[in-house]
């Protein structure tokens, strides 16, 4: 299979996701290339790769986000393709274009799809045009407070002020009344400018206590667009996901079929290819498109556990111009899977990141337990990067059994 795909792939990422991609590359007989900063020369993902190239100092802006250095590493190592993982450059249309111009295959969607979905305002407009249900709100950016008050009056309070180009819970504020709107706009805009360099914000109706339900989609260049069912990611802290599971506990078979169709329609609307996730909000039986993540998700493992599909393998096949190797009529949900994210955080200090050296590290084991880890004993958790260290995923015949297995694994 690998002869028809690639002989060597560079993973433009670090930590657990880099190691996760290496695992599939190794199984497919493809050589792996890691990139690392000067501070991570002894990191686990560097040891796990067949080759490794240093791309700069510790700060991501000087290493992992430097497109020129990543491309130089690919040329130096002889890689034919680049897998971006998630975060960092994964949803950068500029990076995808730079790969193509350098004669490298970007293992992900076309830049046009990334751009269309990279702006939440643009995504809402595209989905509205395609007949995909979106959360009620504006299809234009907020120009100033007066304009925002007009939009909010039409939408109805409470309203969510959301940054168009942000993610990870950044640039999100809620206004319960006109008196709160000015501050909400200012804070959302300021936070988005600091983290993403874009202060564009828009308004949506704020939905009380919705379920955060997302659908995994796969699409190739041969016209095949499928979904691998849904995940529930409602357990979050500061709009950051902590626990994910599949299938979603409050989704009936009829609703599952409907939101699956919505996700496929959304992917087709932007000419999508590769793996992607259509995120939505579930309120009762109403499902609204929220955004599309044009990359592999942190929580892809729970979908792999209940479907048996290697999502990274499908990404590689699609990038090589091959059709998806997933017979649609054979895809089945089997049992229940739950994921817990293991973060280096200090619970006594409002769960702030807690860098330092890992002096002891022991992973749980047993049937139906999967660990995607980027650390080991002696690893230094650095302040420059996301505090996610590992992901613990378990499977059970049903949700009750999966929950019991997760509690036992966490105790281990």
Q: Please give the angle made by the CA atoms of 92, 95 and 100, to the nearest 5 degrees.
A: 130
Write b or e for each residue in 337-365: b if 16 or more Cβ atoms lie within 10 A of its Cβ, otherwise e.
bbbbbbbbbeeeeeeebeeeeeeeeeeee
Whether the Cβ atoms of residue 300 and residue 336 lie closer than 8 Å to each other: no
* Closest alpha carbon to 406 in 358, 360, 371: 371
In the chain, what's the furthest Cα-to-Cα distance? 63
Annotated catalytic residue 295: yes
CA-to-CA dists, residue 167 to 6, 68, 118, 147, 241, angstroms? 32, 24, 9, 24, 12
Question: What does the radius of gyration of the chain's CA atoms come to, in whole angstroms?
Answer: 21
Rounded Cα distance, 270 and 189, in Å: 27
Q: Please give the angle made by the CA atoms of 133, 139 and 143, to the nearest 5 degrees.
A: 155
User: Which residue among 115, 231, 256, 295 is the active-site one?
Assistant: 295
Rounded Cα distance, 315 and 312, in Å: 5
Rounded Cα distance, 45 and 69, in Å: 18
**Catalytic residue IDs:** 295
């Amino acid at each position: 299979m690998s002869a028809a795909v690639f002989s060597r792939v560079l993973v433009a990422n670090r930590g657990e996701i880099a190691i996760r991609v290496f695992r599939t590359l190794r199984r497919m007989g493809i050589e792996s290339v890691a990139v690392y900063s000067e501070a991570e020369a002894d990191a686990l993902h560097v040891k796990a790769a067949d080759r490794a190239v240093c791309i700069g100092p510790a700060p991501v802006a000087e290493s992992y986000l430097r497109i020129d250095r990543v491309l130089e590493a690919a040329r130096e190592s002889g890689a034919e393709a680049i897998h971006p993982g998630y975060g960092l450059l994964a949803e950068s249309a500029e990076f995808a274009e730079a790969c193509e111009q350098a004669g490298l295959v970007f293992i992900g969607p076309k830049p046009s799809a990334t751009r269309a979905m990279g702006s939440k305002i643009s995504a809402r407009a595209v989905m509205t045009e395609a007949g995909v249900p979106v959360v009620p709100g504006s299809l234009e950016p907020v120009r100033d407070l007066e304009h925002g008050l007009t939009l909010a009056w039409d939408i109805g309070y409470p309203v969510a002020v959301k940054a168009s180009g942000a993610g990870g819970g950044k640039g999100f504020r809620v206004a319960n009344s006109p008196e709160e709107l000015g501050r909400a706009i200012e804070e959302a805009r300021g936070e988005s400018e600091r983290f993403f360099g874009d202060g564009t914000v828009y308004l949506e109706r704020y939905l009380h206590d919705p379920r955060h339900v997302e659908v995994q989609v796969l699409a190739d260049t041969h016209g095949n667009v499928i979904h691998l069912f849904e995940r529930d990611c409602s357990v979050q802290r500061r709009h950051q996901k902590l626990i994910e599971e599949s299938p979603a506990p409050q989704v009936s078979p009829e609703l599952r079929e409907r939101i699956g169709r919505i996700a496929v329609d959304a992917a087709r609307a932007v000419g999508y290819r590769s793996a992607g996730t259509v995120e939505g909000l579930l309120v009762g039986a109403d499902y609204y498109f929220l955004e599309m993540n044009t990359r592999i998700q942190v929580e892809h493992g729970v979908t792999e556990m209940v479907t048996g599909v290697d999502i990274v393998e499908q990404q590689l096949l699609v990038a090589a111009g091959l059709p998806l190797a997933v017979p649609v009529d054979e895809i089945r949900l089997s049992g229940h899977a739950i994921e817990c994210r293991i973060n280096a955080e200090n619970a006594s200090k409002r769960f702030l990141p807690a860098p330092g050296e890992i002096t002891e590290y022991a992973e749980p084991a047993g049937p139906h337990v999967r660990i995607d880890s980027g650390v080991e004993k002696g690893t230094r958790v650095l302040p420059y990067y996301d505090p996610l260290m590992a992901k613990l995923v378990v499977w059970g015949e049903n949700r009750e059994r999966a929950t019991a297995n997760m509690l036992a694994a966490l105790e281990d």
